[in-house]
Amino acid sequence: MTRISGDGPLSTGRIARLFDILAGIIEPRSELDYQDHFELLVAVVLSAQTTDRAVNRAMARIREQIAITPDALARLGEDGLRPLIADLGLYRAKARHVSALAAIIANQHDGQVPADRAALEALPGVGPKTASVILNIAFQVPTIAVDTHVHRVANRTGIASTRRPDATQTVLERRVPARHRLHAHHYLILHGRYTCTARRPRCDECPISRYCWWVHPA
């Protein structure tokens, strides 16, 4: 096997079998509560350094006050949004970003979330990871968003050997079999959230342990 910089020691065959197993047992879905593309965008921006459960509670509070649309959130403004999300990490910056991106989408994109990476990343609070999530979930683009779970699982299993999330994304988009690329980040996120946890990974219950380099380094 020819190794490229950033590739982990896991062979192409073992990677394929690993994803075949995950695809058979994990429903590829976001655990954020959203009703349309714009709500998804708002939820993902709010989710930085915050649990999905906390974001879902915040989204419910916003819905009690207004319809979550670009026009309504732009009218609510930063000052109106801030107390509704005050229990989230970085809530002041998030209120600023969400109210600003709502105004931009309302005024420059006819109220529609853009399906273009450059346009998404031009929005306040939207970086490459958030753009990848939106493109993948909302528009079915087979890109892979790398959060801490994905980064950990990719490196622990031996798919990647990287230090930075952007490098991990490059490796995954090259090494994950094409048939699994659309849902790969959901498989890895959910596996990392519930089985391959940062502390005390449940290797004895892990369905892919036979292919994991950390468990079987050979």
For residue range 49-77, what is the model confidence (pLDDT) as tens digits?
999 999 999 999 999 999 999 999 999 99
Same domain, 111 and 160: no
| Given the residues 7, 20, 129, 166, the one annotated as active site | 129
Six token digits for residue 50: 């915050």
For residue range 153-201, what is the model confidence (pLDDT) as tens digits?
999 999 999 999 999 999 999 999 999 999 999 999 999 999 999 999 9
pLDDT bin (cut points 50, 70, 90) of residue 5 is confident
Is 149 part of any domain?
yes
**For residues 148 and 47, is the Cβ–Cβ distance under 8 A?**
no
Terminal Cα-to-Cα distance of the chain (whole angstroms): 14
Same domain, 101 and 85: yes
Is 218 part of any domain?
no
Same domain, 202 and 113: no
Single out the residue of 161, 135, 153 nearest to residue 193, CA to CA.
153
**What pLDDT is stored for residue 1 in this prediction?**
54
Residue finishing a domain among 81, 112, 139: 139
**What pLDDT is stored for residue 50 in this prediction?**
93
Q: Is the pLDDT of residue 3 over 80?
A: no
- Domain span holding position 57: 37-139
CATH number, domain with residue 19: 1.10.1670.10
**What pLDDT is stored for residue 217 in this prediction?**
86
Query: What helix, strand, coil percent values describe the chain, rounded to 5?
Result: 60, 0, 40
**Dist CA 148 CA 165 (whole Å):** 8
**129 belongs to the catalytic site:** yes
**What pLDDT is stored for residue 137 in this prediction?**
97
**36 belongs to the catalytic site:** no
CATH number, domain with residue 86: 1.10.340.30
**What pLDDT is stored for residue 4 in this prediction?**
81
**For residues 47 and 130, is the Cβ–Cβ distance under 8 A?**
no
Mean pLDDT computed over 85-90: 96
| Given the residues 7, 110, 147, 166, the one annotated as active site | 147
For residue range 8-49, what is the model confidence (pLDDT) as tens digits?
999 999 999 999 999 999 999 999 999 999 999 999 999 999
Six token digits for residue 77: 């403004």
pLDDT bin (cut points 50, 70, 90) of residue 202 is very high
